[in-house]
Amino acid sequence: MRLLLVEDDRMIGESLRGALRLEGHAVDWVRDTSAAQATLASERFDLVLLDLGLPATSGQPTDPAAGLAVLRALRARHDATPVIVLTARDGPGDKVGGLDAGADDYLVKPFELDELAARIRAIQRRVAGRAEPVLSHAGVTLDPATRQVTRDGVPVLLSAREFAVLEALMQRPGALLSRAQLEDRLYGWGEEIESNAVSVYIHQLRRKLGADFIQNLRGVGYFVGERPRAS
């Protein structure tokens, strides 16, 4: 998934970004409300992790409710991007305030990375309209929690980025994902994109899962499952 992390604490930000990249997510990181507003107004993300206490711009004092203002502005634009609020505060009023402002979920720092990862997966399922946690198609299963993939019941070993490409495609069988959309899910800002990376990952996945498992519409994109109808 492509995630936006809004967090002014450098240590927390670096450790979260590192951990989420290891999970195969593309993570972009901003540290103040003005950067968060500008980024959310111009780019699309699958999920936002939003700290509440933030400075307006770097070097300014922290406003404990600044994150809520970012969230309200997002929802006021009818932007439904899922948001998990992250905060050190644990008063019951803060949780209610965050959820009422349009957050999808809430985590109080310090939290376990495993719990954050599980909540991200739950939101992914909800967004995709699935109740069942394991993705399954044509003899291939993918479990986002254990990161296990099987083909005809036999475990298949994938790299983190191969897994991310497969997960993106299996989340919505029949949906076309362009090369650029797949690159977005693989790379955050500042990460160099190898020009043929997506083709290489697709090639590896076909080798491991069967040549026909991932299909492509030439020049348009990749999909699993039913061929998408021309629009």
Instruction: Name the segment binding Ca ion (CB under 5 A); options: 5-13, 15-23, 132-140, 200-208.
Output: 5-13
Instruction: Name the segment binding Ca ion (CB under 5 A); options: 4-12, 19-27, 114-122, 199-207.
Output: 4-12
Which of 5, 8, 33, 36 binds Ca ion (CB under 5 A)? It is: 8
Q: Burial letters for 168-203: b for 16+ Cβ neighbours within 10 Å, e otherwise?
A: bbbbbeebbbebebbbbbbbbeeeeeeeebbeebbe
Instruction: Name the segment binding Ca ion (CB under 5 A); options: 3-11, 17-25, 78-86, 146-154.
Output: 3-11
Select 113 or 176, whichever has its Cβ closest to Ca ion: 113
Select 87 or 171, whichever has its Cβ closest to Ca ion: 87
How many angstroms separate the CA atoms of 126 and 57, rounded? 33
User: Tokens at residue 40, please?
Assistant: 């959310």
The CA–CA distances, whole Å, from 25 to 96, 100, 120, 135, 136 equal 28, 27, 11, 17, 20
CB of 63 to Ca ion, least distance (A): 10
Among residue numbers 44 through 103, which ones bind Ca ion (CB under 5 A)?
A: 51, 53
Cβ burial, residue 63 (10 Å; 0-12/13-18/19+)? middle
CB of 21 to Ca ion, least distance (A): 21
CB of 46 to Ca ion, least distance (A): 23
Residue nearest to Ca ion (CB): 53
Q: Is 173 in the site for Ca ion (CB under 5 A)?
A: no
How many angstroms separate the CA atoms of 166 and 148, rounded? 12
**Secondary structure E strands in 128-195:** 135-137, 140-143, 148-151, 154-156
CB of 103 to Ca ion, least distance (A): 15
Select 8 or 46, whichever has its Cβ closest to Ca ion: 8
CB of 68 to Ca ion, least distance (A): 12
Least Cα distance to 46 among 193, 172, 163, 218 occurs for 172
CB of 194 to Ca ion, least distance (A): 34
Select 53 or 228, whichever has its Cβ closest to Ca ion: 53
The CA–CA distances, whole Å, from 82 to 102, 127, 149, 218 equal 9, 8, 26, 32
Contacting positions for Ca ion (CB under 5 A): 8, 51, 53
